[in-house]
Chains A and B, each alone.
Chain A
Amino acid sequence: MAEQASVQEVADAMYKMIKDSMGQKKWKATDLTKAVNELFGERCDKNIAKSAIRDLIESGKCVYTYFGGSFIEIPHKEGAEN
Chain B
Amino acid sequence: MPEKKRKTPKLDELEKGAWPSFVKEIKTAAEKNAMAEDLLGQLERSYEEKIGHWKHGGIVGVLGYGGGVIGRYSDLPEEFPNVSHFHTMRINQPAGWFYTSDVLRKLCDIWEKHGSGLTNVHGSTGDLVFLGTRTEELEPTFKELTDLGFDLGGSGSDVRTPSCCCGMARCEWACYDTMALTYFLTMHYQDELHRPAFPYKWKFKMSGCPNDCVAAIARSDMSIIGTWRDDIRVDNAAVTEYAKSGMNIERDVVGNCPAKCMEWDGKEIKIDNKACVKCMHCINAMPKALAPGKDRGACILIGAKAPIVEGALLSSVLIPFIKLEPPYAELIDLVDRIHEVWSENGKNRERVGEFIQRVGMGNFLEAIGVEPIPEMVAHPRENPYVFYEEFFEEESEENPKP
Binding site for B on A (CB under 8 A): 28-30, 33, 50, 53-54, 57-58, 60, 63-70, 73, 75-76, 78-81
B343 (CB) vs chain A CBs: closest residue: A30
**Contacting residues, chain B, for A66 (C-beta < 8 A):** 57-58, 70-71, 155-156
B135 shortest CB reach to chain A, Å: 8
Q: Number of B residues contacting the other chain (C-beta, 8 Å)?
A: 33
Q: Is the interface of B mostly helix, strand, loop or mixed?
A: loop
In the assembled complex, 12 residue pairs joining A and B whose CB atoms fall closer than 8 Å, in A order, are A30-B197, A53-B197, A58-B64, A64-B65, A64-B66, A64-B156, A66-B57, A66-B58, A69-B156, A76-B59, A80-B58, A80-B73
Q: Contacting A63 at CB < 8 Å: which of B59, B157, B197?
A: B59
Task: Tell me if B349 and A69 are in contact (CB < 8 A).
Answer: yes
| Interface: B348 (CB within 8 A) | yes
| Interface: B195 (CB within 8 A) | yes
Which residues from 58 to 91 on chain B have a C-beta closer than 8 Å to any C-beta of chain A? 58-61, 63-67, 70-71, 73, 84-85
Q: Contacting B58 at CB < 8 Å: which of A29, A33, A65, A69?
A: A65
Task: Tell me if B63 and A58 are in contact (CB < 8 A).
Answer: yes
Q: Contacting B71 at CB < 8 Å: which of A30, A58, A78?
A: A78
Interface centre among A58, A60, A68 (most CB of B within 10 A): A68
Q: Nearest 8 pairs between A and B by C-beta?
A: A64-B66, A70-B196, A70-B156, A29-B197, A70-B157, A80-B55, A66-B57, A80-B58
**Contacting residues, chain A, for B84 (C-beta < 8 A):** 81
Task: Tell me if B59 and A65 are in contact (CB < 8 A).
Answer: yes
Give bound CA distance, A80 to B327, whole Å.
Answer: 44
Number of residue pairs spanning A and B whose beta carbons lie under 8 angstroms apart: 81
Give bound CA distance, A4 to B199, whole Å.
Answer: 27
Contact A30 to B58, CB < 8 A, known contacts A66-B71, A69-B199, A70-B157: no
Give bound CA distance, A64 to B398, whole Å.
Answer: 57
**Contacting residues, chain A, for B66 (C-beta < 8 A):** 57, 64, 70
A2 shortest CB reach to chain B, Å: 23
